[in-house]
Chain A
Amino acid sequence: MAANLPRRIIKETQRLVSEPDPGISATPSDDNLRYFNVMIAGPTGSPFEGGVFKLELFLTEEYPMAPPKVRFLTRIYHPNIDRLGRICLDILKEKWSPALQIRTVLLSIQGLLSAPNPDDPLANDVADHWKKDEAGAITTAKAWTNKFAMV
């Protein structure tokens, strides 16, 4: 069973609530303060604009020495996010640093929505589509946004 919640997690949670970033919300679950329900609004000018994407974020016992586990719950057509919602983002893996925070992670994910990176894909079929026919891929992404991410 988890010992006391580390002070860092308490501080981060307080700040996330008191100074939220535009287009991002993260609230801890009532029964597990290490589990966050996250919502990210699709950035303006991206194919995800107008959509609201749900994610889950979990802080393991090793946090902040190990990165948080983050996954999209809303389906999204994006070259760096696969069917299961797993995200290909360096700072969630080998580029993680304990000086990064929940806030910085979520801002990076928001950035990833603005700038998909098909050269470092997680969903290969989507990445291929993106590279061969960007306009078509964007149309699909918009359609998926309309279908899955509208509240």
Chain B
Amino acid sequence: MKFGKELNATLCSLPSEWHSYTIQYKQLKKLITQLVLEMRDVGLSPEELREGKISKRIVFENQGQNVISTVCIAPNESEGVDSEKLLQMRTDSAFFSALFDTLSGLSNLEKDNRKALTDTLEVLSDRLLKAASPREKDMYIWRNIFGLYHEASVFNITSDKNSRDRLDWFNGQMRERKFRDKLHHNSRDIFDEFILILTQLVSVVQFQRLNQKAMRKILKKHDKRTGLGESTYFSKFIAREELSLSADPCTTASQMIALRVTRVVPQPEDYSCPVCMDIAWKPIRLSCSHLFCLPCLIKAQDQEKWDCPVCRCADSVKKANGGNIDRGVQKLMQLYFPKEIQKKAIERSKELAIRDYEALTGYAVSNDKCVLM
């Protein structure tokens, strides 16, 4: 599909109030065609430029409403020209003025959208803090919801999956597991709002990426047809103009959600021991700041593995003792992961019982069922 058509097709699925902000791809394409004619009029040959026979640089200036582009042709000593030749083409300035105007509009739209979303998220965050607090029964359900949100990786775009598909998958999971029904009345409103915000963010990201792509495409076309190579100069120019356009819409979106929503509910994965990959209970903080569980640390010390398993910091394990229990994290874990901790404690006592049994009897414990002889 030609990009112009793809652009229009994608726009149809996005809010209509955004349409006028979009990069005017068709119009810009026409300006490129006109520009090539104007270049011929002033004696600039795209072919020679493309072949690199003429050395030049481009200057962009922002004059209020307009962007003026100036092509500065380097002196050509063999022809006896000793100073730069300056050229300004009406259609070239028109092209970059139009593009810059759109980008400024997009930048304002993005700023407004972000502000509105941030405000909504702040409110949501406060409500969630109460609804998903360890004192409420909903905490474990919320954790499952956000666990699946992470698994969906909505804002992790790869070639074969886009945000909308991933969000559909997430919504499907929610329906299938009936998470909304399991939540208390209070939490349900928050859940609906969370889904609404995600849907909006997915649109925002899609719109931003669409415009980024349109800009890339149109500048590439400009470079290719005129041979002027203005795109790199223009990119530097916009960087100087300090527009608030996100360079990476996906990361921006996922950070917004992580910061104000999902982080409210701690996940056990964030407190897992890198050795047993289970919850790090009890949490030991080594001098190099890495977190492990006490049983793994004891095993490492028993085997005289003295360095930190993660960063190899020398003697980090050797130096650790009871004082290395991270009380703050321990408290937080008791509050947020009571079930996980209990499970781990049971497993640990089983492990110790087996070890003691084997040490005492000299027999290995087997899982085989007892057999009557």
Residues of A within 8 A of B (CB): 1, 3-4, 6-8, 11-12, 64-65, 97-99
Residues of B contacting A4 in the complex (Cβ-Cβ under 8 angstroms): 367
When the two chains form the complex, which single residue of B277, B300, B305 contacts A7, counting CB atoms closer than 8 Å? B277
Q: Is B132 an interface residue (CB 8 A)?
A: no
Q: CB-defined interface of B293-307 with A at 8 Å, one 1/0 digit per residue?
A: 000100110010101
- Asked whether A3 and B354 contact (CB < 8 A) given A11-B277, A12-B277, A65-B299, the answer is yes
16 contacts between A and B (CB under 8 A): A1-B368, A3-B354, A3-B364, A3-B367, A7-B276, A7-B278, A7-B347, A8-B276, A8-B278, A11-B277, A12-B277, A65-B299, A65-B303, A98-B275, A98-B296, A99-B309
| A98 engages B365 (CB within 8 Å) | no
Residues of B contacting A65 in the complex (Cβ-Cβ under 8 angstroms): 299-300, 303, 305
Q: Is B310 an interface residue (CB 8 A)?
A: yes
Residues of B contacting A12 in the complex (Cβ-Cβ under 8 angstroms): 277
| A1 engages B300 (CB within 8 Å) | no
Q: In the complex, which residues 95-154 of chain B have their Cβ closer than 8 Å to any Cβ of chain A?
A: none
B-side binding surface: helix, strand, loop or mixed? loop
Residues of B contacting A1 in the complex (Cβ-Cβ under 8 angstroms): 364, 366-368
Residues of B within 8 A of A (CB): 274-278, 296, 299-300, 303, 305, 307, 309-310, 312, 347, 354, 364-368
Complex CA–CA separation, A52 to B303 (angstroms): 37
Additional A-B contact list (10), CB under 8 Å, known A97-B309, A98-B296: A1-B366, A3-B366, A8-B277, A12-B277, A64-B275, A65-B299, A65-B300, A65-B303, A97-B310, A97-B312
When the two chains form the complex, which single residue of B278, B309, B354, B366 contacts A98, counting CB atoms closer than 8 Å? B309
| A3 engages B365 (CB within 8 Å) | yes
Least Cβ distance of A86 to chain B in Å?
23
Least Cβ distance of A66 to chain B in Å?
8
Complex CA–CA separation, A7 to B275 (angstroms): 11
- Asked whether A98 and B367 contact (CB < 8 A) given A8-B276, A64-B275, A65-B305, the answer is no
Complex CA–CA separation, A1 to B354 (angstroms): 13
Residues of A contacting B364 in the complex (Cβ-Cβ under 8 angstroms): 1, 3
Complex CA–CA separation, A99 to B272 (angstroms): 12
Complex CA–CA separation, A98 to B312 (angstroms): 11
Residues of A contacting B309 in the complex (Cβ-Cβ under 8 angstroms): 97-99
Residues of B contacting A97 in the complex (Cβ-Cβ under 8 angstroms): 307, 309-310, 312
Complex CA–CA separation, A1 to B358 (angstroms): 12
Complex CA–CA separation, A139 to B365 (angstroms): 53
Residues of B contacting A98 in the complex (Cβ-Cβ under 8 angstroms): 274-275, 296, 300, 305, 309
Q: Which A-B residue pairs are the 5 nearest by beta carbons?
A: A99-B309, A99-B274, A1-B366, A8-B277, A97-B309
Give A11's nearest chain B residue, CB to CB.
B277
Residues of B contacting A8 in the complex (Cβ-Cβ under 8 angstroms): 275-278
Complex CA–CA separation, A8 to B276 (angstroms): 5
- Asked whether A99 and B275 contact (CB < 8 A) given A3-B354, A65-B303, A65-B305, the answer is yes
Least Cβ distance of B268 to chain A in Å?
12
Residues of A contacting B299 in the complex (Cβ-Cβ under 8 angstroms): 65
Complex CA–CA separation, A98 to B367 (angstroms): 26
Least Cβ distance of A5 to chain B in Å?
10
Give B365's nearest chain A residue, CB to CB.
A3
Residue among B303, B307, B309, B312 having the largest count of chain A Cβ atoms under 10 Å: B309
Least Cβ distance of A84 to chain B in Å?
28
Give B151's nearest chain A residue, CB to CB.
A18
Give A95's nearest chain B residue, CB to CB.
B312
